[in-house]
Copies of this chain bind each other. A is one copy, B any other.
């Protein structure tokens, strides 16, 4: 690699781990490093851990930090104040009004750009993953909750208070199940991993035969991998729960097609990664059956491609975009 090559750092700051990557202008990860977040040690300590995680990735890449790293992008749990570069509040990290950008710029001596984790994940898929080549993209991550992001004309939609893109919190039935946010019938309440888990537990209580609890403690959370295995085996409690989740995601996608008329819809997150195409197929078919012909014309509804790298790569996109 020539000495003159320039790179950015993309960081995925999560509730449990920090993931730092050194990324070139094609979205290739040269080197990466991981550290536990240890949020319980406090904000200052986490800033130091982020800096050390970056140093480690830079050392592995064998590049010179001063001259070869241009700038740094961070995906952080939110909600964020993007103008001030602060974490307003986040249940995962237990801080309020934490000046993430300012403290990192002080520590790292480079320009830092932040955005919320879900937005950067979508941005990563847009630039280097399943959305590559599109100009208008919608992304949905189906995990314990459901997050989303909106790309319009190649840019993330932030909205007036920088809080746009909460695609898990659209109403799909005002009389539906209660969402974690306190509103009834949100997509998240119908389709998240927690919603699937709820359906499985209710089915079991009603005597539907299931093997999902055979190899584990019934009180433990049901992980996506176990859900995927039981789904593949045709488990009578799990299969309808998964199909219901994918069907409601499909209804939401149908609405998003009529609202945004995007080119690509990318579906990712833990549940989708574990189950794969059988899940996305139900989403696609439900969406296509519930939308105007013109809105589904040429639209691709596809699985995310970057897995755990999406947020770090999206943070790298933030960094590259901040230079131009």
A contact residues vs B (CB 8 Å cutoff): 79, 134-136, 150, 152, 157-167, 169-175, 181, 183-184, 247-248, 251-252, 254-255, 258-263, 290-292, 294-295, 297-299
Contacts and interface: CB of A to CB of B under 8 A. Distances in A.
Nearest to A297: B161
Given A291-B183, A299-B160, A174 B171 contact: no
Contacts of A248: 174
Contacts of A183: 254, 290-291
Contacts of A181: 292
A260 B262 CA distance: 15
A254 B171 contact: yes
Contact of A162 (B169, B261, B262, B299): B261
A177 to B, nearest CB: 13
A104 to B, nearest CB: 23
Contacts of A159: 136, 260-262
A291 to B, nearest CB: 7
A249 to B, nearest CB: 12
Contacts of A172: 171-174
Chain A interface main SS type: loop
B259 A259 contact: yes
A118 to B, nearest CB: 13
A254 B170 CA distance: 8
A178 to B, nearest CB: 12
Contact of A157 (B152, B165, B166, B170): B152
Given A160-B136, A261-B160, A263-B160, A166 B251 contact: no
A87 to B, nearest CB: 13
A265 to B, nearest CB: 11
Contact of A166 (B135, B150, B295, B297): B295
A299 to B, nearest CB: 7
A251 B171 contact: yes
Contacts of A166: 258-259, 261, 292, 295
A164 B260 contact: yes
Contacts of A298: 160-161
Contacts of A247: 174
Given A159-B260, A171-B172, 7 more contacts: A157-B260, A161-B298, A167-B258, A170-B259, A172-B172, A183-B254, A184-B290
